[in-house]
Structure 1
Amino acid sequence: MKDNGLGMTQPNLFKETFPYSEIPKTVFNNVLVPMDLPEKIWITDTTFRDGQQSMSSFTVDQIATIYDYLHKLDNGSGIIRQTEFFLYTEKDRKAVEECMKRGYEFPQITSWIRAKKEDLQLVKEMGIKETGMLMSCSDYHIFDKLKMNREQAMNAYLSIAENALENGIIPRCHLEDITRADFFGFVVPFVQKLMELSEKSGLQVKIRACDTLGLGVPYNGVELPRSVPAIIHGLRKYAGVPSDSIEWHGHNDFYSVVTNSATSWLYGSASVNTTLFGIGERTGNCPLEAMVVEYGQLKGSTKDMDLTIITEIADYFKKELDYEVPQRTPFVGSEFNVTRAGIHADGLLKNEEIYNAFDTSKILNRPALVAVNEYSGVAGIAAWINGYFKLKGSNKLNKKDSRILPIKKWVDEQYENGRTTVIRNDELESITLKYITNLLEEKDDEQAVI
């Protein structure tokens, strides 16, 4: 017979919710918990740890450059608060040293280790003041991977956390697979013990709630272990964890990573963990740029962050790392604010706000563009010219400008002759400058006025 606490001898795998031979179930119990968005919320980064595992390994110089970009993006706001590193190889440690030389306040440099003393020794040698520690908390991991029971796992985790605190190192306890864990049978009693260690030591112990397989759901009234609201609320109410010690780490296996991360904020987690462009194992992590924008929506301001750096980082990944963000990825994909529909192009031409949700040119240095094809018409071509050449004010073309007609004729001939692809920007630039010869002069004059 099963014991419902730490001494249980058989794992609780929640097979009613996770039958494995079927899609996981979302079970409602209609127990509602209150929203409680913290006054201060922030973002942490794991591009160099979880993210780097999904693509070719970064060089030391590349890591240092990306770290510089993160610093520029944060721009002294403290919203992009931390980033974490591996310490296992000589290259890992060299990269950390290069980044530490910068002396940046944000993002703070942290590390990630297994809950082992030999790993903690690496943190001590590097002089890092906070480290993540892997502490798997579901019975899938405790019984089947670690080959322990709950009490043995808890004692092992507490021992390494206590060791860290004795050395003045803040442990950030990664509760791996929390969305399949027995919340009241293991998570709560374990985290209560961690909070006791925190109080005794006078140092903050942090809790990272890891949705390892992306199984969390954002709906209020869902049963544990899948409920993001109940997990965050429960960590605060039943385990005594303050909001500024709670961090959410999600994956995108069920297309919910951004919503789940925002939900964790709404129910009391101060921090969400991300990677640039959502890179990470399997379907990836929560995209950092998505949460930067989500921060602005929830708080009404992006403070001092410089969001134009997001576009620079995307360009760097493409040119330096040979990594191209999927074209339709929000905010960073090459097509995210490009329209192909003729009627939409006509709307953009009359007022950009009709089909562009915010000033992407000002905020992201990404002007709204139009892709020209057989359906674009003169309105689409005019909108493309204005966007591509960044024409402003009186220099902007409208669809009645007669200079567009020969360009329109050339486009039509392309498709009459069997073309099926969108006209490339370089082609359009060449044909446009052929028929509107003073276009670059008008652009320069307008920019000089500005």
Structure 2
Amino acid sequence: MTTPLSAADFQAQLLDFLDGSPTPFHAVASLAALLDKAGFVRLKESDNWAMQPGGRYYVTRNDSSIIGFVYGTENQPADGVRMVGAHTDSPCLRVKPNPELVSQGYYQLGVETYGGVLLNPWFDRDLSLAGRVTYRTDHGELRSAMIDFKRAVAVIPSLAIHLNRDANRGQEINAQTDIPPVLMQVEADAKPDFRDIVVQQMQAQGITGIAQVLDYELSFYDTQPAAVIGLQQEFIASARLDNLLSCFIGVQALLGSDGSQSVLLVCNDHEEVGSRSACGAQGPMLADFLARLLPDTEQRLRAVRRSLMISADNAHGVHPNYAAKHDGNHGPLLNKGPVIKVNSNQSYATNSESSAVFRHCCEQAGVAVQSFVTRTDMGCGSTIGPITSAQVGVLTLDVGVPTFAMHSIRELAGSSDAHGMYRVLSYFFQASGNLLPVSQ
């Protein structure tokens, strides 16, 4: 068990985590480093497992999803597991397999939109590249490595208003033709090979013995660092708050666990594109983990019924310029507490019992709580909550920190909300006794 983080220490470490996690691969590496430092034992899915009471473990899949687990000494897994779920991916621009474009002497890369990207804010930003590269070594072995250019290497310039007088009256962005980033100037007949550029970056990072880059998963990201802003320092501004903010809150709550309760954090990849993958929430990763933790089917099914999952994903804060986009009674305010997300059509997994548990935890932790329901005449997004609940059968609710500009290249959240959610999840992981309602 670690000493609880003060608000100041929490914020400082959060900013470092956000800056060091430009892709899901880097996010999982950052989470794993925190768990390694705290003495968690890394498990490999291809090995035999022998988890014991009092042990602390973690496992990754695809380098982009991670499960951390504390095996309780008092509350055994068969008596139920307290779970928190989040996701490591964020909407972004991914480099295509054959991306090279040369136009008017400018070298550009073709990109594919990943998830529901808010495209307008990507223009005129200082962009870098990061992700995973799979290559063949000089000895014929296949290996994967993470790379991060870190410095600004590209930009998507806006078209001057003089050439588009209707730009401020609403402009449709063509994702195929309008957003390929500009990397450099070249001769008109030049044909730079992007894989050569990748090799140069790998070598600059000390990776040697590269015979050939076979493939990659690389994303552009904004180089502007995360920051605490506002006249009273009440806001956190950063890329990827959705949903690295919840990943960081979850791992800090896990690190603070005293070991008496069986608690679990799962951070899945691919939520922004539907979660349908081997390492996504619609895949078998969490179910596989629980099956290995409790091999006996009867025991495992009983344990699931005694468990609770808190799906932590950002919520829409009511925007002062667009307040009409919210239901009048359900417009969460920044810095007024975490939000319980409700949708009767099951876009969120919350029900009255799971919501009541979270309200109880907030009260015990001394943290205010809010509710969000989308306008009845508007559609509702979803999370890993309903997917996980359907896959595993666990009682689940959806909560989140209220946020502005969700899916933008730079989002905004309340600084006290993040620390408040940390306090609530810490209580959830450590509270003794049964937290589930007893039916009459």
Choose between structure 1 and 2 for higher RCO, CA contacts under 8 A separated by at least 6 residues: 2
With the length of structure 1 as denominator, give the TM-score of the two structures.
Answer: 0.24
Radius of gyration: which is bigger? 1
With the length of structure 2 as denominator, give the TM-score of the two structures.
Answer: 0.24
Q: Which has the higher strand share?
A: 2
